[in-house]
Amino acid sequence: MPTLMTRPSFERLAQVRTRLIDHSLPSARPGQAGVAGLFLPWAGRRLAEAGGIYWIGAATEGDYGAEGEQSFEACHERGARLCDRGPHAHAHTPLWLFLDGLTRGLLGGSYDMTTERWGWSNLLKIGWSVGTPESWPAELIERQQPACAAALREELAGLRRSLVFVGSEDDFGILGEALGGMPEWHGKQDEVTGIWWLHDEVSGNLIVHGCHPSAARRGHFSKAALERTVLLARDLLPHFT
């Protein structure tokens, strides 16, 4: 079952979700905003072995199966339905167009033809069924931060010679913690590309931190961010050339 998160990390997050619902926040259901289903990262079967692209967003959208089963297997299947079932209805959204641009530029094919060498994760593994993370209950984010940072650290440790693109301007205190505190980013975040980057010499991973493709498109720098990311990957990850 391809994922870079271990069962112990998943179980820790599942406990956080259960406690949130038991003690303070409702579970999402029709007509009621609430805690979404638990997100389990997905990874193509050759990603860890051969290197590739690991996309990290902010969080899930909608209720994300909140009323369904929350087992490791069920949560994995939710991710697989989105990532590993061929072309889908989201293919023409800014996010998927950006990911498709990365796979075409670095893996030689569209996202649905290169699934074995890319993966999908989120900074926040427990979402809220409405709105964006900036408007979600503070408790929801604060309670999961330590578990999410530990899980992301584990995910990144499973990657070698890969491009990791973090498509969320706010890292919610998770990315920095997963990278060991205060990473030394290169580049200047401005209207031209909107990205920061660092190259980890030990793992060989290139980590690029930008904003969500929808925000980049609204700011008219989505194309520049995509082109810059592809050039960086080709320069610093030679197997992509």
Alpha-carbon gap, residue 11 to 9, rounded angstroms: 5
- The answer to whether the CB of 38 falls within 8 A of the CB of 9 is no
pLDDT-derived band at 114 (thresholds 50, 70, 90) equals very high
Give the pLDDT score at 89: 65
Is residue 189 scored above 90 in pLDDT?
A: no
Q: Where are the beta strands (DSSP E) in 70-158?
A: 118-122, 126-128
What share of the chain has pLDDT > 90, as a percent? 78
Asked if residue 192 is part of any domain, the answer here is yes
The domain total for the chain is 1
Give the pLDDT score at 168: 95
Alpha-carbon gap, residue 202 to 125, rounded angstroms: 26
CATH of the domain at 138: 3.40.470.10
3-class SS of residue 134: helix
In tens, the pLDDT along 222-235 reads: 999 999 999 999 99
Is residue 7 scored above 70 in pLDDT?
A: yes
H helix runs in 41-128, sequence order? 47-50, 72-83, 94-106
Asked if residue 2 is part of any domain, the answer here is no
Q: Where are the beta strands (DSSP E) in the chain?
A: 35-38, 42-43, 53-57, 118-122, 126-128, 163-167, 196-199, 206-210
Supply 89's token pair. Answer: 């209805």
pLDDT-derived band at 219 (thresholds 50, 70, 90) equals confident
Computed over every residue of the chain, the mean pLDDT equals 92
Asked if residue 229 is part of any domain, the answer here is yes
134 burial (CB, 10 Å; 0-12 / 13-18 / 19+) is exposed
- The answer to whether the CB of 12 falls within 8 A of the CB of 147 is yes
Asked if residue 43 is part of any domain, the answer here is yes
pLDDT-derived band at 190 (thresholds 50, 70, 90) equals low
Domain that holds residue 216: 7-240
* Average pLDDT of span 115-131: 96
Give the pLDDT score at 241: 61
User: Half-sphere exposure (CA, 13 Å, Cβ side) for 39?
Assistant: 30
Give the pLDDT score at 193: 86
In tens, the pLDDT along 37-86 reads: 999 999 999 999 999 999 999 999 999 999 999 999 999 999 888 787 66
- The answer to whether the CB of 65 falls within 8 A of the CB of 78 is yes
User: Half-sphere exposure (CA, 13 Å, Cβ side) for 20?
Assistant: 26
pLDDT-derived band at 239 (thresholds 50, 70, 90) equals confident
In tens, the pLDDT along 204-216 reads: 999 999 999 998 8
Supply 72's token pair. Answer: 């490791």
Q: Of the ranges 4-18, 67-81, 86-100, 155-169, which one carries the lowest mean pLDDT score? A: 86-100
Asked if residue 86 is part of any domain, the answer here is yes
Asked if residue 74 is part of any domain, the answer here is yes
Asked if residue 1 is part of any domain, the answer here is no
- The answer to whether the CB of 5 falls within 8 A of the CB of 75 is no
Supply 65's token pair. Answer: 């199966």
* Average pLDDT of span 76-102: 82
pLDDT-derived band at 184 (thresholds 50, 70, 90) equals confident
* Average pLDDT of span 11-34: 96
Alpha-carbon gap, residue 159 to 203, rounded angstroms: 7
pTM: 0.95
